[in-house]
Amino acid sequence: MTDYLLCNWRVRSQLLLPELLAWSGDDRAPDVEISLGTVPDHLDGATPAGPLIEVGADNTCRLEISRVARYLVSGGRRVVIQPAGTGDDAAVRGFLLGTVFAMLCHQRGLYPLHASSVRIGDACIAMAGSSGIGKSTLAATLVRNGAVLTADDVSVVDLSSHASPTILPAYPQLKLWRNSLDNLNIAADGLQRVRRSFEKFAVPAATSFKSEAVPLAAIYVLHEAGGMQHATIRRVEKLDAVGDLVRNFYRPRLLRAMGRQGDALQAALKILAAVPLYRLPLARSFDALAGIAAELMTRHGGGRPP
Amino acid sequence: MTGIVWIASYPKSGSTWLRLALESLMSGGAPVRLNRATQRGQTAPNRNLLESVLGVDTSELLDEEIEELRPRCYEAIARDLKHQVLLKVHDARVSTATGEPLFPASASAGAIYIVRDPRDVAVSYAYHAGIPIDAMIARMANLGHVADATNSAISSQVPQRYLSWSAHVESWLAASDMPVLLLRYEDMIRDFAAELARAAAFLGLAASPETIAGAVAATRFEVLQAAEASEGFGERAPTADRFFRRGVPGGWREELTPVQVKQIQHDHGAVMRRLGYST
């Protein structure tokens, strides 16, 4: 078994996890253990959080996607996976490094955002928003412009220190659909598909990836620009900002089932006291995206011609 | 009436207009704002809506997995409701691979289904989608048509099965497990106050003549066109330069060739006659 790095955790896994960097830190005991085994049909006395997830005692979580795997996640440190046997290993890992990863964060008192994040200079920006809006493609464009990836899809906010909120970098990989790959001139050959039949690929982004926590400088909530002629980035404050932020935690229904809405609200207030939140309208065009990327680089002091 | 009310139609048949008018009605006849944030999640196949229930990334789920999970999502949404919620939908009323309705009766308070002359739909939809009218006529006859199919990218909506225009109409009108109100776009143009009053009564919404008049005024075509010009409209497709374009019933006479008219009537004549459209 190989040990891996995920956030600042030492992860021991029975499953190969090529997305993660190998552990090269100290000789501590593993922080998280992932094993293959049997997962029960249901958790006793559990609260359902939607059709796929149950939350039981001590916030133990059960996730099942019937054609992929069952996952049992407990104590922020143990994951048991029972693959469905369809042989789609990439999919097993995909949900592990997405929803299950977020469950571990919640169990550890961290605050995962549904966001991609990049480091520009000494600080991080997080780009939150619905699936398909363009978070990963925008992050990839920023990386092309000189930013360093800290996370794609699940960006972990750590509020445990007395200083301002930080992002704990997750793992150096982006998931991009073929259209985005083509636009960025990245070849798909040799890249792993995230799910067998899909034109969505895992793109390594390990250049300059560092695992130290990075101060969070801004949160951008992406939304569709619609027909707006002059769509500008605008700062959002007070109740609107709290609403935007809480809606973009990974995931509100899970938070409620784990009894963490109160904590999440407190966390949102603490984050917003130190970090500005903006709404960023994004038109569905790669040109618009390139323009936004350049603007973000300039705003955060990383501006140089692409 | 609690639960989900489906505002259903084949595309370009007036469901957006009705949705805006119902929202105005529910705000006492107030003017409409085209891009209210809460509106964006109010379509049945919206990814964000489904993910808010599922807790996983839908872009990593197979089309058949998503389709099987949608009835469960709608049930979960309906369970949380204390009143009714309107969800706009262009899917045909199909069954999933396991044989259950995509839109489960247990989650549904009912449906308002809007139809429009398919000859006008062909013209409007071709413009909206940025494809030639002949291609759109072929699409409307294609039982296998899937909107927002996942290929090299995803959209904000999960894939939806439209069936053909005729099969779409028949699928919704065949619903025996929930009340369905049928409205015709042409009747809405002729006397929107009356049609809106029917919709309000169906939904159990109190609506005085003043409120109805307000909603009708707020959603007059010229008003909506002007609003789109000044604030944009999120429902405009990237392939079209406007969403609120023309809307005149019978406009097809000036835009379709006799061959195209004949094709549509060949493909959809039975349902057209059933709905009272002359062929």
User: Prior bond to A70 cis, omega within 30?
Assistant: no
CA distance A294 to chain B (A): 23
Closest CA relative to residue A103, chosen from A132, A88, A81: A81
Q: What is the dihedral of CA B38, A293, A212, A202, to 10 degrees?
A: 80
pLDDT for B37: 47
A197 touches chain B (CB under 8 A): yes
Q: Which residues in chain B have their CB less than 8 angstroms from residue A179's CB?
A: 152-153
* A65: Cβ contacts below 8 Å, ≥ 6 apart: A52, A84, A91, A95, B56, B61, B65
Residues of A in contact with B65 (CB under 8 A): 65-67
Amino acid identity, residue B46? N
Amino acid B38: pLDDT: 52
A254 interfaces chain B, CB cutoff of 8 Å: yes
Tokens of B33: 């704002």
User: How do residues A61-80 score in pLDDT, each as one tens digit?
Assistant: 999 999 999 999 999 999 99
Closest residue in A to B70 (Cα) is A51
B79 CB neighbour count, 10 Å cutoff: 10
Predicted local distance difference test score (pLDDT) of residue A303: 55
Structure tokens at A119: 């480091």
pLDDT lower than 50: segments of chain A = 306
The predicted pLDDT at position B206 comes to 85
B211-222: average pLDDT? 91
> Minimal Cα distance from A240: which residue of B?
B37
Structure tokens at B123: 């013209």
Query: Nearest CA to CA, how far is A52 from chain B (Å)?
Result: 6
Query: Over chain A, what HEC string results?
Result: CEEEEECCEEEEECCCCCCCEECCCCCCCCCEEEEECCCCCCCCCCEECCCCEEECHHHCEEEEECCCEEEEEECCCEEEEEECCCCCHHHHHHHHHHHHHHHHHHHCCCEEEEEEEEEECCEEEEEECCCCCCHHHHHHHHHHCCCEEEECCEEEEECCCCCCCEEECCCCEEEEEHHHHHHCCCCCCCCEECCCCCCEEEEECCCCCCCCCEEEEEEEEEEECCCCCCCCCEEECHHHHHHHHHHCECCHHHHHHCCCHHHHHHHHHHHHHHCCEEEEEECCCHHHHHHHHHHHHHHCCCCCCC
* Phi/psi at B169 (5° precision): -60, -50
Residue with tokens 């790959």: A181
Distances (CA, A) of A90 to B5, B15, B63, B149: 38, 40, 17, 22
Alpha carbon distance A225, A234 (integer Å): 13
Q: Which amino acid makes up residue B164? A: S
Half-sphere exposure of B232 (CA within 13 A, CB side): 14
Residue type, B81: L
**For A93, which residue in chain B has the nearest alpha carbon?**
B60
Contact A280, A221 (CB under 8 A): yes
Helix B258-275 and helix B133-141, axial crossing angle in degrees, nearest 10: 40
Cβ contact, residue pair A130, B47, below 8 Å: yes
At B97-132, the pLDDT tens digits run: 999 999 999 999 999 999 999 999 999 999 999 999
Nearest to A177 among B152, B234, B243 (CB): B152
**What residues 114-173 of chain A have any CB closer than 8 A to a CB of chain B?**
130-133, 153
Residues B59, B148: Cα–Cα separation, whole Å: 12
Strand arrangement, sheet containing A53-55: A21-22, A2-6, A9-13, A32-36, A78-83, A69-74, A61-65, A53-55, A47-48
Instruction: Tell me the average pLDDT of chain B.
Output: 91
Q: Tell me the mean pLDDT in the region B211-219.
A: 93
> Which residues of chain A lie closer than 8 angstroms to B59, CB-CB?
131-132, 200
Distance from CA of B63 to the nearest CA of A (A): 10
Interface of B with A (CB under 8 A): 35, 37, 40, 47-48, 51-62, 65, 69, 72-73, 76, 150-156, 228, 231-236, 238, 243
pLDDT-wise least confident of A22-26, B70-74, B183-187: A22-26
Nearest to B54 among A50, A177, A284 (CB): A50
pLDDT score of A7 = 94
Smallest Cβ–Cβ distance between A227 and the set B48, B150, B232 belongs to B232
B235: pLDDT confidence band, cut at 50, 70 and 90?
confident
CA distance B35 to chain A (A): 8
Query: Which chain B positions have a beta carbon within 8 Å of A223's beta carbon?
Result: 37, 40
Whether the CB-CB separation of A251 and A114 falls below 8 Å is answered with yes
Which phi and psi (to 5°) does residue A84 adopt? -75, -10
Q: Round to whole Å and give the CA distance between B175 and B169.
A: 11
Backbone angles phi, psi at B187, to 5 degrees: -70, -35
Answer whether B55 sits within 8 Å of A182, measured CB to CB: no
Query: CB-based contact (8 Å) between A50 and chain B?
Result: yes
Rounded to whole angstroms, the Cα distance separating A136 from A78 reads: 28
Query: Closest Cα of chain A to B246: distance in Å?
Result: 18
Given a cut of 70, is residue B90 above it in pLDDT? yes
Does A51 contact B54 at a Cβ distance shorter than 8 Å?
yes
Q: Which of A33, A57, A38, A34 is nearest to A47 (CA)?
A: A57
Q: How far apart are CA A14 and CA A3, in angstroms?
A: 9
Is A37:A82 a contact under the CB 8 Å cutoff?
Answer: yes
Intra-chain end-to-end CA distance of chain B, in Å: 38
Give the residue-averaged pLDDT of B148-170. 92
